[in-house]
Amino acid sequence: METYIQIIANGLMLGALYACIAVGFSLVWGVLNVINMLHGSFIVLGGYLAFFAWAQLGVSPFVMLFVVAAVLFLLGFLIQYGAINRVVSKPVLLTLTLTFGLDLILYNFMNVVFEATPRRITLDLGSLGIGEVMLPYDRLLAMLLALAMTGILYWVLRSSRIGRAIVAVRMDRDAAALMGIRVNKVYAITFGISAMMAGACGALMAVVYPITTNTTGLLLGKAFTICVIGGLGSVPGALVGGLALGLIESFAGTWLGAQYAILIGSLLMLTLLMVRPTGLIGKRGYE
C-alpha cells in the first residue's frame, strides 16, 4: 500500500511541475494559435540561470525564481514583438518553422555558453516522512510553488485587466481589436507570460532534476502531450493534463521501467489526438 501512495505522491509532485510547464505552452497555442517550439529551451534557460546564480553567487533558487521570471518575460516579449508577430496569422507551417528556427538559435547559444553538462541544484533540505512515504522537502516546495504560479496565472486571466484582454483576443481577434485592444501588444504579453512561466518552472526543476540542454526536446514533448491530454488553452486543462501525465509516468516507470515512460506518453498522446483532439476536459478545440 505504501508503495502505491509513494508512486502517487511522486506522480503528483512531478505532475505539478508538468502542469506549470504546460500552462504557458497551452496559453500560447490557444491565444496566438502558434506552436511554440522554443518552450523547452525557455525551461532549460530558466534552470541554467537559477543554477549559476546558486552555484556562483549563492542565491537561493526560490529567490532567483523572480529574477528568472522577469528576464524570461522580457525575452519572450521581445521575441514575439520582433519576430513572431510578423507571421502570427500565417499557416502553421510558417509559424512552427519560425519558432523551430528561433529554438535552434537559443539552443546553440546555450550549448556554447553553458555547455551541455547536466547540472542540479542540491539543497539537501531533508524530507518529510509520513509513515513509509517519503516526501523530500525540496520537491514538495517546488510542487507547491508550481501550483501557486499556476493558480496566480489562473487568477490573472480571470480577474485582471490584461487577463481579460488576453481572453478576449483568444475568443475573437477582430472583435477585440475593434474594442480598442492592441492585439499585437496582447500577443507579445501573452508570449512573455508563457516564457515567464517556463523559465520559473525551469528554476524549480533545477532543484529537483538535473538540467541539461539535451532535455529541451523532451520537455517540449511533455508540453505537447499535456496539452493534448488536458485540452488546449485553458489553465484547468493544463493542470489536469499535467497531473495525469505525472501519474502515468510514475506508474509506467515503476511497472515497466523508466525507459518506457516516454514511449507510453507519446503513444497515449497520438491515440488521444486521433480519438479526442479537444482533450479530456476541453471544450471545442481552437484549431
The residues of the shown chain that bind other proteins, judged by CB under 8 A, are 29, 33, 35, 83, 86-87, 89-94, 96-98, 100-105, 107-109, 112, 217, 221, 224, 228, 259-260, 262-263, 266-267, 269-270, 273-274, 277, 285, 287
Q: Output 97 or 127, the one with its CB closest to other proteins.
A: 97
Q: Output 208 or 228, the one with its CB closest to other proteins.
A: 228
User: Residues with Cβ < 8 Å from 138, sequence gap 6 or more?
Assistant: 123, 124, 125, 207, 208
Q: Output 57 or 93, the one with its CB closest to other proteins.
A: 93
Task: State the minimum distance, in angstroms, from the CB of residue 90 to other proteins.
Answer: 7
| Cα dihedral 20/243/254/215 (nearest 10) | -20
Task: State the minimum distance, in angstroms, from the CB of residue 139 to other proteins.
Answer: 26
Q: Output 70 or 105, the one with its CB closest to other proteins.
A: 105
Q: Output 154 or 286, the one with its CB closest to other proteins.
A: 286
User: Residues with Cβ < 8 Å from 204, sequence gap 6 or more?
Assistant: 17, 20, 61, 65, 142, 145, 146
Residue with the three cell numbers 488546449 = 232
Task: State the minimum distance, in angstroms, from the CB of residue 247 to other proteins.
Answer: 20
Rounded Cα distance between 267 and 261, Å, is 10
Task: State the minimum distance, in angstroms, from the CB of residue 177 to other proteins.
Answer: 13
Task: State the minimum distance, in angstroms, from the CB of residue 84 to other proteins.
Answer: 10
Rounded Cα distance between 164 and 178, Å, is 15
CA distances from 163 to 41, 96, 224 (A): 25, 25, 23
Question: Which cell is 166 given?
Answer: 488576453
- Burial label for 55, CB within 10 Å (0-12, 13-18, 19+), is exposed
CA distances from 16 to 1, 125, 142, 148, 271 (A): 23, 19, 8, 10, 23
Q: Output 70 or 171, the one with its CB closest to other proteins.
A: 171
Closest CA to 194 of 16, 30, 25: 25
Which region holds residue 282: left if phi is over 0, alpha if psi is between -120 and 50, else beta?
beta
Task: State the minimum distance, in angstroms, from the CB of residue 275 to other proteins.
Answer: 10
Rounded Cα distance between 59 and 5, Å, is 34
Q: Output 103 or 138, the one with its CB closest to other proteins.
A: 103
Task: State the minimum distance, in angstroms, from the CB of residue 158 to other proteins.
Answer: 25
Q: Output 149 or 166, the one with its CB closest to other proteins.
A: 166
Task: State the minimum distance, in angstroms, from the CB of residue 221 to other proteins.
Answer: 6
Rounded Cα distance between 280 and 268, Å, is 12
